Amino acid sequence: MFYSQIFLISLELLLGLIVVLLFQPRWLLRIIEKLSPGVTYFFKTQERIVALSIDDGLDPATTPKILSVLEKYQVHATFFLISSRVEPNPELITELLDRGHEVGNHLTQDEPSVLLSEIEFEAAVIEAENILSKYTRPKWLRPGGGWYKKSTIDIAQKHGYRVVLGDIFPYDTHIPSSWFASLFILCNIRPGSIIILHDTGMWGKRTATTLEKILPMLDRQGYRVVPLSELAHSP
């Protein structure tokens, strides 16, 4: 009897965790925002408008594919760029900006920011900013890996950044399926949502495929897909 109760409790907890992971409920994100003020997961709006953000570029093999799909559907996005991938591709960031997309600071390397000391994190913020500011002045920052500490927020704000994550992350870095990512986004989309997808390598190829699937469907549902700054100023 005792072990069966333990099993049922464990099963309920597991099912609860699965529900949270699959649906990323806003009530939970609101609690997180209150516990750690200074991080944006979504915006409150009555309009059918959502932001598209794409992390980890640039990649000369996959970023142009993503840009081509966005151009096809006349959609603009916020690209959170890793500065070490910007320097070898100056023509690509220029093209990205010329097409009307927005750039955010995603630090210098593809690594979890939460593992960095305060000194290391601030140095990475500054180094990335020095590189990105040759082309534009980003106002958004997304910590590597999506995890953060209070010092992450404090340092970002000190340098004039607003820390942003998102409320729709289709696990595209973990589940190698464009079908799953597309279904996840379409099932969870809500006004004010921030979608997180990824560039580079196979991730970038899948993102281009996913965008080809979801953008016309979001348009049919009456959604406008915009960069973060436009969503932030929506009523």
Catalytic annotation, residues: 55, 198
Classified as helix, coil or strand, 38 is coil
Report residue 234 as tokens: 């929506």
Cα-Cα-Cα-Cα torsion 208, 77, 72, 184, nearest 10 degrees, comes to: 50
DSSP string, 139-185: -EE--GGG---HHHHHHHHHTT-EEE--SB---TTTS--HHHHHHHH
Please give the single-letter amino acid code of residue 141: L
Q: Which residues contact 105 (CB under 8 A, 6 or more apart)?
A: 80, 81, 83, 125, 128, 129, 132, 138, 140, 141, 142, 161
DSSP string, 59-116: -TTTHHHHHHHHHHTT---EEEE-GGGTTT-HHHHHHHHHTT-EEEE--SSSS-GGGS
Classified as helix, coil or strand, 36 is coil
- C-alpha 68/C-alpha 53 separation (Å) is 16
